[in-house]
């Protein structure tokens, strides 16, 4: 991909301790940006921080424990970023996982949990970092990028709550883009299909049939990709989603807002 020099800019990545978030943080560090990541799990966050510092010893990195659903913790994280770096140019909202459930077996509590996670994992960080982004917009690039799912446009009946919430998030992102465009703050998203993650790794490890047969992770994921009719025949990799986020967060996409990039391996059926 085209390499930019982001020296002097600051990227904030929520859910940055693993998977897509961690891969995105690494791209920003590689480009010279200062990076702030947060996550809920202290051990996972510490491992991510150690790894990034080992690979980028000269990089400017802040790793902070933060639950993006807690308004107080998010506000404290934003204040910590401002104190450490003095600015924030790019915000990547990356949090949440899929909930497997049908309408018949999704309780009221599960609906509330799912809607709360998908909406407020974007609303609270955006609200907290907006003053810093407004300041950055006056000097140049300012962008918000959200990790969303292809379920927003292509719902699945076995993921009814997640599909519904993801569709609402797509509308929220479009609304934010229109509202913030006059301030020169761009808002975009990526729509991911199946991307390798800790959640999928655990499913593989808990598949007793695959484990007893000695089936490798690669063979297991390829078989599942075929079953799910993914044209590229494999799962996506975190770094592939990260590259799309990097593009939308930086000046590479300076005339793009209110849009999304499909990162699903061709599984999307809509035109």
Contact 25, 11 (CB under 8 A): yes
- Work out the mean pLDDT of the chain and round it to a whole number: 95
Asked if residue 144 has pLDDT above 80, the reply is yes
> Going from the N-terminus, what domains does the chain have, and what CATH number goes with each?
10-195+237-262 (3.40.50.720), 197-235 (no CATH)
State the residue for tokens 């400017």: 60
Phi, psi for 21 (deg, rounded to 5): -60, -45
Count of beta carbons in the 10 Å neighbourhood of residue 165: 26
Q: Are 263 and 236 in contact (CB under 8 A)?
A: yes
Beta carbons of 59 and 33 less than 8 angstroms apart: no
Which residues on adjacent β-strands are paired with residue 63?
Answer: 37
Which residue(s) pair with 11 in the sheet? 35, 90
Residue 103 tokens, joined? 């309408």
Is the pTM of the predicted complex or chain greater than 0.85? yes
As beta bridge partners, residue 39 has 65
**Per-residue pLDDT tens for 164-183?**
999 999 999 999 999 999 99
pLDDT digits (tens, 9 = 90+) for 76-90: 999 999 999 999 999
């Amino acid at each position: 991909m085209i390499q930019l020099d982001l020296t002097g800019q600051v990227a904030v990545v929520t859910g940055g301790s693993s998977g897509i978030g961690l891969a995105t943080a690494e791209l920003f560090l590689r480009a010279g940006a200062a990076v702030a990541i947060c996550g809920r799990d202290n051990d996972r966050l510490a491992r991510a921080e150690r790894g990034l510092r080992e690979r980028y010893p000269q990089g400017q990195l802040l790793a902070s424990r933060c639950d993006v659903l807690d308004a107080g913790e998010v506000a404290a994280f934003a204040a910590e970023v401002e104190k450490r770096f003095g600015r924030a140019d790019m915000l990547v909202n990356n949090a949440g996982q899929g909930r497997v459930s049908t309408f018949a077996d999704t309780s009221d509590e599960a609906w509330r949990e799912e809607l709360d996670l998908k909406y407020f994992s974007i609303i609270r960080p955006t609200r907290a970092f907006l003053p810093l982004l407004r300041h950055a917009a006056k000097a140049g690039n300012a962008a918000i990028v959200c990790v969303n799912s292809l379920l927003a446009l292509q719902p699945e009946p076995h993921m009814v709550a997640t599909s519904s919430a993801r569709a609402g998030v797509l509308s929220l992102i479009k609304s934010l883009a229109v509202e913030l465009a006059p301030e020169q703050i761009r808002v975009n998203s990526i729509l991911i299909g199946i991307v390798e993650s800790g959640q999928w790794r655990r499913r593989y490890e808990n598949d007793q049939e695959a484990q007893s047969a000695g089936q490798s992770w690669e063979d297991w994921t390829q078989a599942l990709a075929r079953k799910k009719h993914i044209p590229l025949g494999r799962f996506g990799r975190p770094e592939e989603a990260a590259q799309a986020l990097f593009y939308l967060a930086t000046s590479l996409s300076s005339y793009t807002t209110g849009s999304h990039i499909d990162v699903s391996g061709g599984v999307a059926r809509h035109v």
